[in-house]
Amino acid sequence: MSQNKTCFFINRRSPYGSSYAQEALDMAFALSAFEHKVSLIFMDDGVLQIMRDQDPSGIGMKNISPTFRAWQDYEIENIYVEKESLEIRGMKKSDLMIEVKIIEADQLGKLIGKQDFIFND
């Protein structure tokens, strides 16, 4: 059994309504630090996590979005966004703060079939 596993996060929650987004982020970084191969996709309300120009100062919360820029320094393998999730929210690729690969739900289905571990919430 190989030491390094492929770990895939399906981030489906909005950034400030709960702590799911922050916790998935912490976990992805931790796994990456232990040299597992981490990839992730933003799906459903998760696409809002990488919306540009977030400013939660008015609701007394910490801005989680700058952390996503730090991903360049970590070895996060691939960052995806599911196409339909963007479309039904009236969002475009230009609304996003980081470079991502936009994929269809069917491609996602194929992709998750290849992973050792999937974290979905």
Q: Which residues bind another protein (CB under 8 A)?
A: 14-17, 44-45, 48, 51-59, 61, 65, 88-91, 95
Residue 68 CB, shortest distance to another protein, in Å, is: 12
Nearer to another protein, 51 or 108 (CB): 51
Residue 12 CB, shortest distance to another protein, in Å, is: 9
Nearer to another protein, 17 or 109 (CB): 17
Nearer to another protein, 31 or 43 (CB): 43
Residue 63 CB, shortest distance to another protein, in Å, is: 8
Buried b (16+ CB within 10 A) or exposed e, 27-54: ebbebbeeebbbbbbbbbbbbbbbbeeb
